[in-house]
Amino acid sequence: MAGDTTTIARPYAEAVFNRAKETDSLGPWSETLEFLEAVVGEPTMAGVITNPKFDRSSLTDLIIEIGGDRFTEEGKNLVKVLIANGRLTLAGEIAKLYEQLKAKSQRIQHVHVTSAFALEPTQETQIADALKAKLGYDITITSEENAELIGGVHIRAGDMVIDGSVSGQLQQLANELGI
Amino acid sequence: MQLNPSEISELIKNRIEKFDLKTEARNEGTIISLTDGIARIHGLEDAMSYEMLEFPGNTFGLALNLERDSVGAVILGEYTHLTEGDAVKCTGRVLEVPIGEGLLGRVVDSLGNPLDGKGAIEYTETSPIEKVAPGVIDRKSVDQPVQTGLKAIDAMVPVGRGQRELIIGDRQTGKSAIAIDAIINQKGTGVKCVYVAVGQKNSTIAQVVRKLEEHGAMEHTIIVAAPAADSAAMQFIAPYSGATMGEYFRDRGQDAMIIYDDLTKQAWAYRQVSLLLRRPPGREAYPGDVFYLHSRLLERSARVNAEFVEKFTNGEVKGKTGSLTAFPIIETQGGDVSAFVPTNVISITDGQIFLEADLFNAGIRPAINAGLSVSRVGGAAQTKIIKKLGGGVRLALAQYRELAAFSQFASDLDDATRAQLERGERVTELMKQPQYSPLSIAEMATSLFAANEGYLDDIPANKIVDFEAALHSYMRSNQKALSDQINASADYNDEVAKSLHDAIKDFKANHTW
């Protein structure tokens, strides 16, 4: 279950984040985790990780060798800890949580905007400005087109959703009428 | 396809006109697993405990488990149209049901939706199903009686307005029958009744509704039905919905009575929900908070004082106390009152009416065990005349049962014992009462008076029932003034005693039975 992996990955992500803040290396750690995620996510690697023929020490050596210079001393230690605990597969989840923590500490909120028609850059900035005023965070926007919305926009920022689309309003009307 | 009454175009037009479109920021999450009516939802960071969650397709759920990364919710009603990945929204509201006079005479489900095909429920207010019970300051002691119309109960285990009296017994011992009789007897007294049917057969509920209609008792009754086919979540919340509907009357200075039939099945439903939510099982696999499940429900039955009512109604109702009397029903398995749920509810309530299968099968109906049945507060609320006349009945019956068991081994008995046995036998007969025939105070008083004064001693035990019926009909036709006087004042003095002496003597001398 998605919820379980998040719960297990959270302490790792928090530990990495706190260490990164202490050593003032939020950026390099981002790259390290991104790289680790890419390595673990590689389909051939997945076979290797779960292969019982590779014991833990040889797997550690392999990953560190692949990384080479990209791993700092601390990065290598993270790999060792993850493998020793058998949690290497969670690298992706850890990277995601780390990015969330990083964004939160830098007061950045990622917003996903879905609209019926492509948004113009001015509209995007308008939305970003309005959301910044509302949430008090710097906003980064990704947008998507979805003709099913009929009109309007649907904004998602983390768990919070602002549904200003026509299809959403029609759904509200349908609920009201009990259809 | 059938057209609903709400689908008249004028009505639809009005509703579209009034439709208030709101675009507001809402918390949204996604379903990550869906099993047996339980959804685990990822996200929903701001969800509150017992908050209503909105699922697609006008379906609602109840957030019960709030965890770090997910929310465990029960879905109220159908859930087959939902799939993993569906969006779930917070509503910011706790679950509410309609309340008010418009519900009287209706059969509704746990959410207050009509089930009786009599059209939409008329209501202007809704109220949360979970509420905190009135505190110490708002309460008043119980000092008015609830007449159940059953001799055995009103004489031996009297119930006061605002009391919680448990009805406990095995299956098929007449638990519901007592409750239904009590509802029928509230006709014309102004006491409003709520009957909550949990986990029962639809046919049984239909039968109850029909019987209440037959006796003209539906006008003052609300039936909240969560039949066995309803989801466990609906069965688990039904008593709370019913309590909210009953509290409407209590808070407005009226008297109401609520019957939970039965709380065993509600505890089962809650156990199912809890186990599916992966809460740790405890004794008999019930979750740890099963005591609180019932205690917080029964605590809402109370008598509130006039100040509370005045404050609640903003001064509209003055000088009136309100009450909600509860009759929770518990079904035991093989007479085992020491099981988990029965002991819990016994300790929460202010007394119990204990029904026994052996007595029921011996033809003693209602099958009340006089020794084990008690009422902890009702004595203070008993009508004066019944208190005076019925005082010795419970003791006499309890002693008789013991003596009867003992005397089976003895070959000859002294006169005192024999007299006590014969007396007990007659009182046992006298306490019998058929279903759906509640008695007035005067009728009850006459029967008890006859027993106390020894008028039954020369009547064969197997004729007592006939004698009593004939006596009641004589009192109704020949002694109407006396009956009316007793019913009106419920007072007992030498004058009343003399009139009763004369009446019964006259009856015995000049009438047959």
Of B201, B197, B233, the closest CA to residue B52 belongs to: B233
Our answer to whether residue B376 is catalytic in this structure is yes
pTM of the model: 0.88
User: How does DSSP assign B58-83, residue by residue?
Assistant: TEEEEEEEE-SSEEEEEEES--TT--
B3: exposed, middle or buried (Cβ count in 10 Å: 0-12, 13-18, 19+): exposed
Residues paired with residue B34 on neighbouring β-strands, in sequence order: B39
The answer to whether residue B32 neighbours chain A at the CB level (below 8 Å) is yes
Residues of chain A found within 8 Å of residue B70, distances taken between Cβ atoms: 1, 3
Window 119-138 of A: residues touching B by CB (8 A cutoff) are 134
What is the C-alpha to C-alpha distance for residues B361 and B364, in angstroms, rounded to an integer? Answer: 7
- For the four alpha carbons of B94, B95, B101 and B102, in that order, the dihedral sign comes to positive
Question: What's the pLDDT score for residue B81?
Answer: 93
Window 81-140 of B: residues touching A by CB (8 A cutoff) are 87, 89
Question: What's the pLDDT score for residue B69?
Answer: 84
Q: For residue A173, what is the nearest residue in chain B, using CA coordinates?
A: B19
The answer to whether residue A175 neighbours chain B at the CB level (below 8 Å) is yes
Q: For residue B27, what is the nearest residue in chain A, using CA coordinates?
A: A160
Task: Please state whether beta strands B38-43 and B374-375 pair in parallel, antiparallel, or not at all (unpaired).
Answer: unpaired
Nearest to A159 among B22, B27, B32 (CB): B27
SS3 B192: strand
The answer to whether residue B1 neighbours chain A at the CB level (below 8 Å) is no
Residues of chain A found within 8 Å of residue B43, distances taken between Cβ atoms: 159
Contact criterion met (CB < 8 Å) for A177 and B12: yes
What is the C-alpha to C-alpha distance for residues B311 and B232, in angstroms, rounded to an integer? Answer: 37
Nearest to A7 among B21, B69, B87 (CB): B69
Residues paired with residue B71 on neighbouring β-strands, in sequence order: B41, B66
Question: What's the pLDDT score for residue A57?
Answer: 87
**Alpha-carbon distance B9 to nearest alpha carbon in chain A (angstroms):** 12
Strand residues in chain A grouped as ranges (E): 108-115, 138-145, 152-157, 160-165
Question: What's the pLDDT score for residue B2?
Answer: 61
**Contact, A62 vs A83, CB < 8 A?**
no
- Per-residue pLDDT of chain B (513 residues), as tens digits, is 566 666 678 777 877 787 777 777 889 999 999 999 999 999 898 899 999 999 998 899 999 999 888 999 999 988 999 999 999 999 989 999 999 999 999 999 999 999 999 999 999 999 999 999 999 999 999 999 999 999 999 999 999 999 999 999 999 999 999 999 999 999 999 999 999 999 999 999 999 999 999 999 999 999 999 999 999 999 999 999 999 999 999 999 999 999 999 999 999 999 999 999 999 999 999 999 999 999 999 999 999 999 999 999 999 999 999 999 999 999 999 999 999 999 999 999 999 999 999 999 999 999 999 889 999 987 888 999 999 998 878 888 888 888 888 887 766 788 888 888 888 899 999 999 999 999 999 999 999 999 989 899 899 999 999 999 999 999 999 999 999 999 998 889 999 999 999 999 999 999 888
ipTM, 2 dp: 0.75
- Per-residue pLDDT of chain A (179 residues), as tens digits, is 455 788 889 999 999 999 999 998 888 999 999 999 998 888 888 888 888 888 888 888 888 888 888 888 898 999 999 999 988 889 999 999 999 899 888 888 888 999 988 888 898 888 888 888 888 888 888 888 888 889 888 898 888 888 888 888 888 888 777 76
Question: What's the pLDDT score for residue B328?
Answer: 97
Question: Who's near B40: CB < 8 A, 6+ residues apart?
Answer: A1, A3, B31, B32, B33, B34, B70, B71, B72, B73
Q: Provide the H-helix boundaries in B173-260.
A: 175-185, 202-214, 232-251
The catalytically annotated residue of B376, B394, B401, B476 is B376
User: How does DSSP assign B112-137, residue by residue?
Assistant: S-B-SSS-PPP-SEEEES--PPP-ST
Question: What's the pLDDT score for residue B485?
Answer: 92
Question: What's the pLDDT score for residue B9?
Answer: 80
Of B23, B156, B428, the closest CA to residue A134 belongs to: B23
Nearest to A7 among B68, B87, B89 (CB): B68
The answer to whether residue B67 neighbours chain A at the CB level (below 8 Å) is yes
Nearest to B58 among A7, A156, A178 (CB): A178
Residues of chain B found within 8 Å of residue A172, distances taken between Cβ atoms: 21-22
What is the C-alpha to C-alpha distance for residues A66 and A78, in angstroms, rounded to an integer? Answer: 15
Question: What's the pLDDT score for residue B5?
Answer: 61
**ω before A52 within 30° of 0 (cis)?**
no
Distances (CA, A) of A32 to A50, A76, B129, B410: 22, 10, 52, 95
Question: What's the pLDDT score for residue A1?
Answer: 45
Question: Who's near A59: CB < 8 A, 6+ residues apart?
Answer: A48, A49, A83, A88
